[in-house]
Amino acid sequence: MNVEFYERIWMWAAVGLLVIFLGTIVVTAASNAVHPPSHMETIDPATLADNPEFGNPAVKEQPDGSVVVSVVAQMFSFSPDPIEIPANRPVTFRITSGDVIHGFEIVGTNANAMAIPGYVSQFTITFKNPGEYLIGCNEYCGLLHHTMVGKVIVKEATR
Ligand code: CUA
């Protein structure tokens, strides 16, 4: 089969681009510790208010010094807000939704999960730098989606 010289160049250029694009995805995913969700837990969204954990979502310190934050996302806010947590300690976020699918992204970190009615999303993160972080909802959830923000306040650990 005879392939024109210029066509050959463009074929290899196209292959090269594919390799570069896929490589970019792999490298950024690895360097930013991106990984798919691995926690599977269901919950009845209709009885959230009576749920011992999510009926009163809050930041709870565990006996071992770690921190668990239960979060309910609901049009168009997060509860609790603000979320006050200590720096340099593992913080486990447990997130669910009371209505539709929302996003829970802590801007500037790799904390990013979906809040899905009927499910609890969970991840653990340690904040090294005290300060204020913005929480954004990154799933379109209704007319005021763009106003759905929250705040994480990371405080210097006092221990
Ligand atoms: Cu909640 Cu968009």
Atom of ligand 1 nearest to the CA of 148: 1
Question: Is the beta carbon of 148 within 6 A of some atom in ligand 1?
Answer: yes
In angstroms, how far apart are the furthest CA atoms of the chain?
74
pLDDT digits (tens, 9 = 90+) for 77-117: 999 999 999 999 999 999 999 999 999 999 999 899 999 99
pLDDT digits (tens, 9 = 90+) for 30-62: 888 777 777 889 999 999 999 999 999 999 998
Chain centre distance of CA 121: 9
Query: Whole-model pTM?
Result: 0.80
Which residues neighbour 111 within 8 Å (Cβ) at sequence distance 6 or greater? Answer: 93, 104, 105, 123, 125
